[in-house]
Structures are given as structure tokens and as C-alpha cells.
Amino acid sequence: MTLDTEHNGDFWLRLDNAAKIYPAVKDRELTSVFRIAAQLKDRVKAKELLEAAHALERRFPYFNVKLKAGVFWYYLEPAGLPLIPRPDIKTPCRAFDRQELMFRILAREKTISVEFSHILTDGTGAFEFLKTLLFVYFEKCGHRLPPGLAYHRPEDPPSEEEYEDAYKKHFKRIDSRPPKRSKAFHLPFSLKRAPRFDLLTAVIPVKCIIEKAKAHSVSLTEYLTAVYLYSLQQIYRQQSFLKKRATNKILRIEVPINLRKLFPSRTMRNFSLYVIPGMDLRLGHYTFEEILKTVYHQMQLETDKKLISKMISRNVSGEKSPFVRGLPLFIKSVVLARLYTLGTKQYSGVVTNLGKIDLSEKINKLIDKFVFIPPPPNDILKVNCAVAGFDNQLVLTFGNITKSRELERKFLTFLTKEGVPVRLLQPYK
Amino acid sequence: MAICKNCGVELEEVMLSCPLCGEPVAGSGESGTSRQTTPAGEPAFQPRAEMSQPQKKFTWEIISIILLSGLIATFIVDFVINQTITWSEYPVAISLTIFAYISLFAFWQQPTLLQIAGSLALSIVFLLLLDLLTNGISWSVGLGIPLLLAANLVAAGLIGVIYRSKYKGINLLAWGFLGAAFLCLCIEGILVRFMTGTFRFGWSLIVCGSVIPVALVLFFVHLRLKKGRSLEKTFHM
């Protein structure tokens, strides 16, 4: 069965389980908007990009929607707006106006970017959209696409599976209470004045850092998470005696997991959950190797399909509870905003890895690098990090709302000391 | 190949301005003021169907003449019968109010809500002057101006609702009923207060009690009928 928004005026979508929290917390600063940018080898051609965007207008109707407030829940309604690329001259990841779509295509010099609200999709969904846009764009530029490429062809009708709530699809009721987590350590830096979202982008050779990770028999994400925790430990230790006594002593990093790898789904909406490896500083100082070992084992354990099913069950059960369903939206929003704050207090940072991007040998040659920019962190978390690997370049982007760059400095200095060359990119201005 | 100096993207030879930001290509002869081009596929601005200025002026003249002649006739009849100005104050006040509104709507090119506010201010001035020139300030402050204010509030509210309604249908009728009910409450409250010095509601409450259920039914029918949409999306749990 296909989606027909033109003839079916009654088409609307419920927010997926992960998206439900974002309308309650988003504002001008905490936008819940992230970006994936493709830096091409050649300058972007305006006409071809316009044509490519136009070709995609009907392919992703579940993105061409507006957020509406119902009596009990928010929902998504078709917006029917044209898809027009815009110049990339403003702050990255800025909030969407009520009148515009909740995603945008941006272009500047050699870079084509897409920005999505988390209400619509996660990194994987946004990347699939960008991939399609790039393929169509290259085709319009006269490049022949190699046969067998997997992407959402503009001429294909969108299938129902693409806009399903995969959390609900894979929901199995498991009776379990969520674990009680103590509050985690948070960076002690003061916030910048609004608009406060600032970025630092670093490029490191993939081969070099993979070698380091392999030497410890861990994955790249596990290695980066360990570096993040090690840097946080250094910041904790640098504090005065009194501050150290007063602050929380648990370090935890939230690492999003793409659930499509565990549960079969072709959904283009949110379908990710988190694992939260961490360590307890009350037990003493950790060497990097000890942190790495802890992170590795916790990640291996927490990504177990049964444990993830338990998390899905907990989240979806909450949404299905008759009491929760019957609460009017304004009360739900207050509760969800509070839950979001409480959730953020349980971890100290975020490392989100888009993974290794490969668009076929022929297409890869047309692209220089991919940059993944995380959504602005809230005033508890303060800093987060997003990673994208392409060709031999691993691009790390730190989103920061504080006046300090200490975490980034510690993180990148650690890498250089390990022999990994780090190159900083011109900041987005 | 031309390059947009704003976005840095490559433009076709035939392009006079960048389709992303509207920046004119150097030497294309486009002025900086005409930067905002309509991108492909974006609907062009559709001006509202309005009266032209000569049409507005003609309408204003006709209405003014009718009002003026009515006003003079009323005054004369009242004066001839009673040897002074008595009941004719009220039709004159109404005529002056209508004159204030049509004059500002005809010649003051401003957003509607501002026009309403301006007309209200001008009417208030007219009413005060009329009251002052007849038997001194008596009915204008306690009766005329509050009634005028209530009517304006209801009108502004209804205009706002009409403007913001994405689907205009039976819902506007329902809003009209609610506006009328509210106006009845205001009228009775102001009249009773003017005459007895206290607030008491009687007949207007009966009007509200009758109108509100009707309005609710109309809203319900509107939601049911509009473009075949169900209520499920609004009320889904």
C-alpha cells in the first residue's frame, strides 16, 4: 500500500516514540535540530541542486509535514510546501519557524547540507535523505550513477514501512522498571550568552585512529567514548578540593545506537536508542586502558538485543499507559520537559557516530568529506560530539554552549599525544 | 561560469541572480533592491481583491451624503418638535460613528486592526464632542464609548479568527454566534450599569445559554465536514 497525500486529505502521522519528547523541550536555543553536510570536490551548481530538490518533493511526504497540537498529543499534518534549497549563511542547527518545514536543504560554495528536526527523524533517516539528494544532484550534473545503488529513487512511491513507528512495531511488553541512575558529573563551565551554540570541527585520518582502536581490540565509537570519558575525568580532577567534594562523581556518556541494525526496519523516522557507559570516580583514578575496558564491556552488554527490547518496552509502555494517554497535552508537555531534564542529569556527554559512509567508489570520488553536527546541547549537558567517517577522514564536531573549550582541548590533545594527527577546520560562521 | 558572491555556488550563464539567495550576478544589471526573487515552485504573492482608491472615494462620498442628509433632517425634526436637541442625539451619534469608520477605512492605508483602533479613537472624539455640545457630558462616557469599545473588541476578535482560520466554513458562523452572545452580555451589562449603577444580567444570559450549545454543534460539524477529515488526529489518544 502506498501513501497518497494528494488524494487522501485525511493523511496525518502520530509522532514516533522518540519524537514525542522534542516538541515539549524545543526552543530557540535547544532546537533539537542536527545537520549532515557533504563537502563536494567541486562547487555546488545552483540549477542542478534546485532540480534535484524539486525531484524529491513527492518522494518523502512524511517529511513534508507541519507539527500540530492535538488535545492529547502532537501530530504531523501534510504541509504541501515546495522544497527549495536555501543559502547556508545563518547559524547551523537553528530552530524552524512555525511556517516552514522541519527540515531544510542548504548550499554554500562546495557544501550541500541538510538539517532535520529530531521530531522528524534521526541521523540515519536524515542521511538517507541526503544520500538520495546527492545521487539525484550528481545525476543532474551529468554523472552516471553506478548500477545497484541502494537509495530512495524519486520515481518510486514511498512505502508505508518508511514512515512506520518502528518502536511500536518491535514493541513486546516486558514487565521491568527502569534502572535508577544517580546524577552524573557535568562540565563546570559557565554558559555563553544567547545565541550560544558554537562548533569546533576536527579532522583526523580514519586509518590512524582505527589502528589505535584495533590495538585495544575495541570499535572506533568505543575508543572515542573512552577518550571523552578520560577528558572528563581530567576536568573533574582539575577542580578545587571543595568543588570536587560537591560535584557528582559518576561519569557517563550517552551513545546513540541505530536500532535498524538490531531490528529489521526501513523506517525513515526516529529509530535509535542509547547505551550509557560510565564509571565511578569514587573508586579512584582510571587509566585510559581501564576506561577503555569498562566502556568496551558495558557497550557489549548494553547493546544486547534483549536489553534493547526491554528499553523499547519501557518507553512504548509509558506512551501506551491509559493514564498518560488521557492527560491533556499541556500537562503532558510539562511532564515530558521534566523527564527530559531528569534524563539529561544522568549523563555527562554525548558521542554520536554516523558511522563509515560509503556511496560507491564512483560517487565517493566526487565528495571530499561529510560533517555531522549534533543538535545544540541543553544547559546541563553543555557539550556534545558528533562523528562521521568518510574515505580516510574522520570528522569530529563538538557542539558547545559554554565559554570554555577545555573539553575539546583535552580530547584532541589526547589524540595528538597518541600520535593521531588532528586538523581543525574553519568554523561555521 | 559565474559564482554567487553570497553563497559561493556555481550559476548557469543565463542566470541573472542566484536562485538560492537572490544575489544578482555582477554586471547583470539587477539592482540590489530586487534581490528577493520567487524561487521555482514557490507560489507568487497573491494580492487581496480590494476596492481601488477611486472606488473607495466614491463609496465614501455616497455614504457621507446619505449620513449628512439624515443627520440634518433628524436634527431639524427634533428641533422643530421640541425646540431643543433631545432624542436626535442618538441617531446623530450613530451617524458620526459610521462616518468615522468609513472615512478611516477609505483613506487610511493601514492594517485592519489599526484601522479599527483609529476609527474607534475618532468615534470617541466625535461622541464626546456631540455630548459636550448638547447637554454637557452625560451619556457618552457611561454608555456610548463602552458600547463602542465592546463592539470593536468583538469585531476585532472575529476578524482575527477569520484571518487565522485555515479552513473557513461553518466554524466562522459558530464564532459569529459566540461574538454576538458576548456582545449581548456587554450591551446588557453596560445599559444596566448606566441606568441603575449596578451590574445585573438577565436576558443576555438566556441568549448565551441558547447560543453556546448551537456554536459547539457547529464547531463539531465543521471539524467533521472539512475536507472529509476525521476528528481522530485532533483527539487521538
Nearest Cα neighbor of A228 from A388, A352, A371, A345 is A352
Q: What does the mean pLDDT of chain B come to?
A: 81
Q: What pLDDT, on the 0 to 100 scale, is given for residue A300?
A: 95
Q: Looking at the predicted structure, is the pLDDT value of residue B32 above 60? A: no
Q: Does A88 touch chain B (CB under 8 A)?
A: yes
- Tens-place pLDDT, residues A137-195: 999 999 999 998 999 999 999 999 999 999 999 999 988 887 788 999 999 999 999 88
- List CB contacts of A202: < 8 A, sequence separation 6 or more: A395, A396, A397, A398, A408, A412, A422, A423, A424, A425
Asked whether the beta carbons of A81 and A61 are under 8 A apart, the reply is: no
A residues 48-87 lying closer than 8 A (beta carbon) to B: 49-50, 54, 57, 68, 70-73, 75, 77, 82-87
Q: Looking at the predicted structure, is the pLDDT value of residue B34 above 50? A: no
Say whether A87 and B15 touch across the interface (CB within 8 A): no
Q: Looking at the predicted structure, is the pLDDT value of residue A73 above 50? A: yes
Shortest Cα distance from B180 to chain A (angstroms)? 27
Instruction: Give the ranges where B52-202 is alpha helix by DSSP (H).
Output: 53-82, 89-107, 112-135, 145-164, 170-196
Say whether A85 and B20 touch across the interface (CB within 8 A): yes
Say whether A47 and B19 touch across the interface (CB within 8 A): yes
Asked whether the beta carbons of A385 and A376 are under 8 A apart, the reply is: no
Partners of A82 on chain B (C-beta within 8 Å) are: 39-42
- Tens-place pLDDT, residues A214-255: 999 999 999 999 999 999 999 999 999 999 999 999 999 999
Per-residue pLDDT band at A7 (split at 50, 70, 90) = very low
Say whether B7 and A326 touch across the interface (CB within 8 A): no
Question: Which stretch of A147-161, B19-33, B101-115, B145-159 has the lowest confidence by average pLDDT?
Answer: B19-33
Q: At what angle do helices A123-140 and A46-55 cross, to 10 degrees?
A: 120
Q: Looking at the predicted structure, is the pLDDT value of residue A327 above 80? A: yes
In the numeric block, the cell 552516471 is attached to A144
Say whether B235 and A71 touch across the interface (CB within 8 A): yes
Asked whether the beta carbons of A379 and A397 are under 8 A apart, the reply is: no
Say whether A89 and B234 touch across the interface (CB within 8 A): no
Asked whether the beta carbons of A400 and A199 are under 8 A apart, the reply is: yes
Question: 10 Å Cβ neighbour count for A173?
Answer: 9
- Would you call A385 helix, strand, or coil by DSSP? strand
- Would you call B81 helix, strand, or coil by DSSP? helix
DSSP string of A391-428? TTEEEEEEEE-BS--HHHHHHHHHHHHTT---EEPPPP
Written as nine digits, the cell of A167 is 518502536
Q: Looking at the predicted structure, is the pLDDT value of residue B134 above 50? A: yes
Rounded distance between C-alpha atoms, residue B119 and residue B139, angstroms: 20
Q: What does the mean pLDDT of chain A come to?
A: 93
Instruction: Give the ranges where A303-400 is alpha helix by DSSP (H).
Output: 305-320, 322-326, 329-344, 361-364
Q: Does A274 touch chain B (CB under 8 A)?
A: no
Mean pLDDT of A64-82: 92
Q: What pLDDT, on the 0 to 100 scale, is given for residue B59?
A: 85
Q: Select the residue from B4, B6, B9, B229 to test the A interface by mutation, using most A Cβ atoms within 10 A.
A: B9
Domains located in chain A, CATH noted: 13-144 (3.30.559.10), 198-358+374-425 (3.30.559.30)
Shortest Cα distance from B114 to chain A (angstroms)? 24
Per-residue pLDDT band at B41 (split at 50, 70, 90) = very low
Q: What pLDDT, on the 0 to 100 scale, is given for residue A99?
A: 85
Q: What pLDDT, on the 0 to 100 scale, is given for residue B33?
A: 38
Q: What pLDDT, on the 0 to 100 scale, is given for residue B38?
A: 38
Q: Looking at the predicted structure, is the pLDDT value of residue B229 above 90? A: no
Rounded distance between C-alpha atoms, residue B95 and residue A354, angstroms: 72
CA A374 to chain centre: 6
Q: What pLDDT, on the 0 to 100 scale, is given for residue A197?
A: 93
Strand partners, A274: A256
- Tens-place pLDDT, residues A360-403: 999 999 999 999 999 999 999 999 999 999 999 999 999 999 99
Asked whether the beta carbons of A106 and A86 are under 8 A apart, the reply is: yes
DSSP string of B193-231? HHHHSS---SHHHHHHHHHHHHHHHHHHHHHHHGGG--S
Q: Looking at the predicted structure, is the pLDDT value of residue B36 above 60? A: no
Q: Select the residue from B20, B167, B235 to test the A interface by mutation, using most A Cβ atoms within 10 A.
A: B20
Report the percent of chain B where pLDDT is more than 70.
Answer: 87
Q: What pLDDT, on the 0 to 100 scale, is given for residue B46?
A: 35
Say whether B15 and A47 touch across the interface (CB within 8 A): yes
- Tens-place pLDDT, residues A44-69: 999 999 999 999 999 999 999 999 98
Say whether B228 and A10 touch across the interface (CB within 8 A): yes
Question: Which residue in the set B11, B41, B236 is minimally distant from A46, CB to CB?
Answer: B11
Report the percent of chain A where pLDDT is more than 90.
Answer: 86
Q: What is the ipTM of this complex?
A: 0.76
Per-residue pLDDT band at B227 (split at 50, 70, 90) = low
- List CB contacts of A220: < 8 A, sequence separation 6 or more: A209, A210, A213, A353, A387, A389, A394
Rounded distance between C-alpha atoms, residue B184 and residue B70, angstroms: 27
Strand partners, B11: B2
Shortest Cα distance from A9 to chain B (angstroms)? 7
Say whether A89 and B40 touch across the interface (CB within 8 A): no
Q: Looking at the predicted structure, is the pLDDT value of residue B230 above 70? A: no
Question: Which stretch of B2-11, B20-29, B59-68 has the lowest confidence by average pLDDT?
Answer: B20-29
Q: What pLDDT, on the 0 to 100 scale, is given for residue B50?
A: 64
Whole-structure pTM over 0.90, yes or no? Answer: no
A residues 100-139 lying closer than 8 A (beta carbon) to B: 107-110
Q: What pLDDT, on the 0 to 100 scale, is given for residue B83?
A: 82
- Minimum CA–CA partner of A76 in chain B: B233
- Minimum CA–CA partner of B229 in chain A: A10
Q: What pLDDT, on the 0 to 100 scale, is given for residue A322?
A: 87
Q: Looking at the predicted structure, is the pLDDT value of residue A404 above 70? A: yes
Strand partners, B2: B11
